[in-house]
Amino acid sequence: MGLAELRGPAGAHIQSMIDRSGARRAGTPDDIAAAAAFLAGPESSFIAGTGILTTGAVICGTLLRRGVLAGQGDSRHAGPAAGS
């Protein structure tokens, strides 16, 4: 998503997603480039069959608020951690 989306009709909703994300900011082309450089470089030589989400933790923040990740050790979760 980009600045055009933030200025559009869904801007308030998109900003609320950003505000709930771990990064608390919109992603930049440099963020995506850094992930691509990592995957193309030697540091990722042992990675296979996984997805790398470059979302600034928007998905994680959404799942936490829905209770999907409840008990997964997040310090904001009021309940006991998994395995407690």
35 lies in some domain:
yes
21 lies in some domain:
yes
* Per-residue confidence (pLDDT) for residue 70, from 0 to 100: 57
73 lies in some domain:
no
Selection from 23, 11, 9 nearest residue 59 by Cα: 23
74 lies in some domain:
no
Domain extent for 8: 3-44+52-66
81 lies in some domain:
no
Number of domains in the chain: 1
82 lies in some domain:
no
C-alpha dihedral sign at 7, 9, 12, 15? negative
16 lies in some domain:
yes
Determine if the pTM surpasses 0.85: no
Q: What angle do CA 28, 32, 38 make, to 5 degrees?
A: 140
Helix, coil or strand: residue 66: helix
59 lies in some domain:
yes
- Kindly list the averaged pLDDT for each block of 10 residues, start to end, along the chain of length 84: 79 85 83 90 87 73 66 46 43
